[in-house]
Amino acid sequence: MARLGLDRRRLRDVQGLRFWRLLGTGAGSDTGPGADLHRTALFAIWDDDEALDAFHEHMAGRWAAADEAWHVRLRGAGGHGAWRGTRVLDELQPATGDGGPVVIVTRADVRARSWRPFRTAGIPVSAELQDADGLLAVVGIGEAPVGRLGTFSVWRDLAAARAYATGAPRHREVVERTRREHWYGEELFARFEPYDSTGSWDGRDPLRAT
């Protein structure tokens, strides 16, 4: 948890880093209420792969000291919305459209008045997600202060992700409520094409499972 604060200063000076967010994570694969204080995430947009390679080399010692680390490189494959006012999807290299695995990031700034129904609704949706066909891995993500929350999920293919989004009744109901009751002050839904990954997540690389 200390690194969520200390690393902010370090990341401001990294060459080739266009946009970044340090994130806390949920417990295990649960996307409902809860946190894992021993696990963090970094979402970042880079000028090019060379800049990212240099960052990996610089950080190799720290990551080697961790119990586990997983890294995935992504191309933009569509979506909508903004992240703290930045239209991050406009900055991404486009996907090739090869029909392989898909990564999906959702995040939202939940309005204070909507926090209680959002929190309550998240518990059954998380339970429903765990059994989704084609889900390879998922984690809840969040930023300070409370209410800036989202998910990072890896799917076998886009068809599997769409089947869950449109066919899971609890998820569909919550999506309808968020629109009808205006739960979010800002939201982002983004699809990505993963083109390289290293390390492990819960003992495996979810993309190698495909």
d(CA 7, CA 63): 13
Q: So where are the chain's domains?
A: 2-197
d(CA 24, CA 174): 23
| 3-class DSSP string for the chain | CHHHHHHHHHHCCCCCEEEEEEEEECCCCCCCCCCEEEEEEEEEEECCHHHHHHHHHHHHHHHHHCCCCEEEEEEEEEEEECECCECHHHHCCECCCCCCCEEEEEEEEECHHHHHHHHHHHHHHHHHHHCCCCEEEEEEEEECCCCEEEEEEEECCHHHHHHHHHHCHHHHHHHHHHHHHCCEEEEEEEEEEEEEEEECECCECHHHHC
Structure tokens at 115: 């926090």
Query: Residue 172: what pLDDT?
Result: 94
Residue bearing the bigger pLDDT, 4 or 87? 87
CATH of domain 2-197: 3.30.70.100
Query: Residue 201: what pLDDT?
Result: 96
Structure confidence by residue, pLDDT tens digits, 160-195: 999 999 999 999 999 999 999 999 999 999 999 999
Structure confidence by residue, pLDDT tens digits, 37-71: 889 999 999 999 999 999 999 888 888 888 999 99
